[in-house]
Structure 1
Amino acid sequence: MAMPRVRANGLEIEYEETGSPDNPMILLVSGYMGQMTEWPDRFKQALADAGRRVIVFDNRDIGLTTAVDDPALEDCIPPPMEELMQGAAEGEPVHERVPYVLDDMAADAAALIEALGAEQADVLGLSMGGMIVQLMALNHPDRVRALIPVMTTSGDPALPPAQPEALEALTAEPESETLEAIGDLAVRTYHAIGSHPDLRASDNELRAAAMADVQRANRPLGLARQFAALLAQPRWHDRLETIGKPTLVLHGQMDRLIPPDCGRDIARRIPGADFRAIEKWGHDLPEAVVPDLLDEILPFLARI
C-alpha cells in the first residue's frame, strides 16, 4: 500500500500516520538500516489510543525517502569505514569528507514536523535515531516538546564500546544478494545483538521481515552513507546539559551493541532526565518488549 509523502529539507519523505491529526504529535525516528516498517503496529496504535498523532517515516537514504535537491545523495560513495574511524580517533574533521552527518538527519526530522503542520512533537528515536533526537533537541529545540532516546548513546568516546561480535554482526554482509541470504544474515545478526530468546522474535519472523524490507527498498549505498554519517558526526555529549526538555531514556539490560552505560550517560547529562533499563531486552524491537516499553512511555507522556 502506498504511503503519503511530503517535501521537507530537500527530501521527499515517505511517512505513515496513526491516530487523529488533531492530537499532539509523537515522531518515531528509526535507527541505522531501519525502515519505518520496523515499528510494531501494536506500539503505534497504543500511542495513538493514548492521544497522540503518531508519525513514522523513512530516514534519508533508506526505504522510500528520496533526495530532491542534492544529486550527490544518489551516487556518492563515502570514504571507507576504517578511514573514517581512524580519522575520527585522531581528531580529524572527518565530517567534511562525507555527504551528510546526523545533524543533517536531525534537520530532516525537524523539517518533517513543520511540513506536517505541527509546531513541535515528542520525539522518540531508536539507536541512531536516538542520537538524531538528541541532536533535534540541541539544534532545533523549538520543534521538540519531550525527548525519548532509546537504546542509544551520548556519543562520549570514553563510554564502553560495543562487544566485538555485536559490531561484527551489524556490519556483516550477506553471502549473496538473494533474499534467502539476506534473511539468513538477519537471523544471525539478531542472535548477536538482539534480546534474550524470551523476548526476541522467532527466526522465521526475523527472516521474513528482512526479506520484506529488501523487497520494499534495497539501497546499499544509502546504508554506507548512513554509517558514514554515524562515524563522522561531531561529538555532542558535552552539550547535553543545555537540554531543558522532559527526557526519558530507555535501554535494554542485554544490549551488546550499545551497552546500557551509554544510555545512563545521557540521563546523567540531561537535567532531570529519567533512565529505565528493561531486563532481557537487547538491541532490537520485538513485539514481546512492547508492553514493557508502553509501561514506561505512556505514564511519561501523561505527565508532560
Structure 2
Amino acid sequence: MRLQANGITIEAEDTGDARRPAVLLVMGLGMQLVAWPAAFIQGLWDAGFRVVRFDNRDVGLSQSFDELGVPNLVVESIRHRFGLRVRAPYTLADMANDAFGVLDALKIERAHVVGMSMGGMIAQRMALAAPDRIQSLTSIMSSSGARFLPGPKPPVLRALLARPKDSSEDAVVDHTMALLRLIASPAYPHDEVVVRERVRAAVRRAYRPAGTQRQMAAVVADSKRARELATMRVPTLVIHGRDDPLVPFACGEDTARRIPHARLVALHGMGHDLPPGVVDLLLQAIVPHLRQTRGG
C-alpha cells in the first residue's frame, strides 16, 4: 500500500488486525521491505503481533530523492574519520520521522520497533526522539555509530563500494550475490538458488543504487547518536552475530553498553544476513522481549 508519511510517499505492508500490538520492521541499507523473510513475519504473527514493514525513503517503491544528487562517499568518509561534519542529503532523523509517519498513517500510537543494520540505527533514533511511542526496541546487527568502532572487513568494504560490470539485470544480480556470499552466516548457509531468485525478484521490483549511496551518507553523518544513547529509556534488546563481517560484533557490544539496561544476545555463527536458522534464533529472542514489554 502507498502511504503519505512525513510529507513523502512511502510503500508499506501491514498484516492488519488493530487489536494486536504492532511491530514495526525497519530494514537496512539499500534493502527493500521484501528482504524481511516470510518466516520471520509469520513467526511474529503467530506470536500474536500485527506486523508492519515498509520501504525506507530512496529504495524500493518509496519516494526517491534523485534531485538531491549523489554524495561522494570517499570524501565524506574521510571527513568522518577526521571528525569533520559529513554532508548528507538527509539524515537518519529524517528517516526516523518517515517511520513515525507510517505509524501515523496507520493510526498506530505505540509500536515495538525492530530494526536491522541501518534499520537498527533508525530505530535508535526513533527511541531517542519519541520514547513514549516506542513500546520496545530491538536492534539487530547494528551499531551506535561511534567513530572508532571497527568497520567492515576489507573484502566486504570493496564489494560494498564496487559497482556491477554493467546495468543489466544479470550483472546486478551477480554483483549482489557476490556481496551476500561475503556477509553470509557461516553456520547457517542459504540455498543459493533460492537466494538468487529472491535477489532477482527484488531487482525487478526496484533497483536504485543512488538511493543507497544517499542512505549511506546519512549513516556516516549521524555522529552524535552514540553519545545520546545514554539518555534512552526504552526497553532494548540488542542481537548481534559473532561472525558479522560487515558490522563487527564489537558494534553490537558497544550499542548494548551505551543503552541503559539493554540486553545483548550474541549469536555464534551468525553473519550479516537472515537465513532460516538465524530467523529461528531471532524469534526465540525477540518474541519473549516483545511479550515482556507489552504492558509498557
User: Normalised by the size of structure 2, how large is the TM-score?
Assistant: 0.95
Letter in 1 for 2:26: V
CA distance in structure 1 between the partners assigned to 2:262 and 2:164 by the alignment:
39
Letter in 1 for 2:42: Q
Equivalent in the alignment of 2:81: 89
CA distance in structure 2 between the partners assigned to 1:21 and 1:104 by the alignment:
26
CA distance in structure 2 between the partners assigned to 1:99 and 1:154 by the alignment:
21
Equivalent in the alignment of 2:238: 249
Whether the aligned pair in 2 keeps the contact of 1:137 and 1:144 (CA below 8 Å) is: yes
Whether the aligned pair in 1 keeps the contact of 2:240 and 2:265 (CA below 8 Å) is: yes
- Are residues 1:139 and 2:136 paired? no
1:79 to partner: Cα distance:
2.7
Identity among equivalent positions (%) equals 43
CA distance in structure 2 between the partners assigned to 1:74 and 1:187 by the alignment:
26
1:240 to partner: Cα distance:
0.8
1:10 to partner: Cα distance:
1.4
CA distance in structure 1 between the partners assigned to 2:13 and 2:241 by the alignment:
27
What is the 5 A alignment of 1:31-180?
31-66=28-63, 73-94=65-86, 97-180=87-170
CA distance in structure 2 between the partners assigned to 1:203 and 1:41 by the alignment:
17
1:172 to partner: Cα distance:
2.1
CA distance in structure 2 between the partners assigned to 1:147 and 1:280 by the alignment:
23
CA distance in structure 1 between the partners assigned to 2:191 and 2:176 by the alignment:
11
Relative distance call for 1:194 and 1:235 in structure 2 (3 A) is farther
Of stretches 246-255 and 232-241 in structure 1, the one that deviates more from structure 2 is 232-241
Q: Secondary structure at the match of 2:204?
A: helix
Equivalent in the alignment of 1:20: 17
Q: Secondary structure at the match of 2:29?
A: coil
Q: Secondary structure at the match of 1:177?
A: coil
1:78 to partner: Cα distance:
2.9
Relative distance call for 1:19 and 1:295 in structure 2 (3 A) is farther
Q: Once the two structures are superposed, what CA deviation does each residue of 1:216-268 show, in whole Å capped at 9, x if it has no partner?
A: 01222212211121122232111111111111000111101111111111111
Q: Which runs of 5+ in 2 are unaligned?
A: none
1:142 to partner: Cα distance:
2.4
Q: Which runs of 5+ in 1 are unaligned?
A: 68-72
Q: Secondary structure at the match of 2:160?
A: helix
1:185 to partner: Cα distance:
1.6
User: Normalised by the size of structure 1, how large is the TM-score?
Assistant: 0.92
Matched pairs, number: 293
- Are residues 1:223 and 2:209 paired? no
Q: Secondary structure at the match of 2:176?
A: helix
Equivalent in the alignment of 1:70: none
CA distance in structure 2 between the partners assigned to 1:66 and 1:21 by the alignment:
26
1:19 to partner: Cα distance:
4.8
- Are residues 1:289 and 2:281 paired? no
